[in-house]
């Protein structure tokens, strides 16, 4: 989401709050906590997941290995579902995830430990 899109989203939210009659709260101070006990610092869960899955971002070897493991496990789950349900169309997705796990594993094996 670009800077312009965020600005539009904020202005639309401000207009919605103004028409609803709700007061806008100031963000919590850094290091402080929100009224519900949650901290206001950091990214939302959705943005964090998207940042982790971003293939253009340089990542560590450990993260690449865990991604390969996750793809392999998901492929095994899909293969098991296809086997239990006797639906062969699940096998193609399982094979593609297995190939993805293999590629990520090879990528992890060629990465240096110091690469970010």
pLDDT at 3: 73
**Has residue 46 got a pLDDT over 90?**
no
Q: Determine the angle formed by the axes of helices 89-110 and 61-85, rounding to 10 degrees.
A: 160
% of the chain exceeding 70 in pLDDT: 66
H/E segment holding residue 51: helix 45-53
Confidence of residue 25 (pLDDT cuts 50, 70, 90): low
Mean pLDDT of 17-39: 54
Which three-class secondary structure state does DSSP give residue 115? Answer: coil
Predicted local confidence at residue 59, as pLDDT: 76
Share of the chain above pLDDT 90, in %: 28
- Other CB atoms within a 10 A radius of the CB of residue 64 amount to 19
- Which range is most confident: 5-9, 75-79, 84-88? 75-79
Q: Residue 87 carries which DSSP code? A: -
**What's the chain's average pLDDT?**
77
Q: Select from 53, 58, 60, 59 the least CA-distant residue to 100.
A: 53
DSSP code at position 27: P
Six token digits for residue 92: 């193609």
Mean pLDDT of 73-101: 93
Specify the pLDDT at position 16: 67
């Amino acid at each position: 989401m670009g800077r312009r899109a965020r600005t539009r989203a904020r202005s639309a939210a401000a207009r919605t709050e103004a028409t609803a009659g709700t007061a806008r709260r100031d963000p919590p101070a850094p290091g402080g906590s929100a009224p519900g006990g949650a901290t206001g610092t950091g990214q939302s869960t959705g943005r964090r997941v998207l940042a982790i899955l971003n293939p253009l971002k340089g990542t560590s070897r450990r993260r690449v290995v865990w991604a390969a493991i996750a793809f392999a496990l998901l492929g095994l789950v899909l293969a098991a579902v296809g086997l239990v349900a006797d639906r062969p169309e699940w096998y193609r997705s399982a094979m593609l995830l297995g190939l993805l796990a293999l590629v990520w594993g090879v990528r992890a094996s060629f990465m240096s430990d110091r690469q970010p």
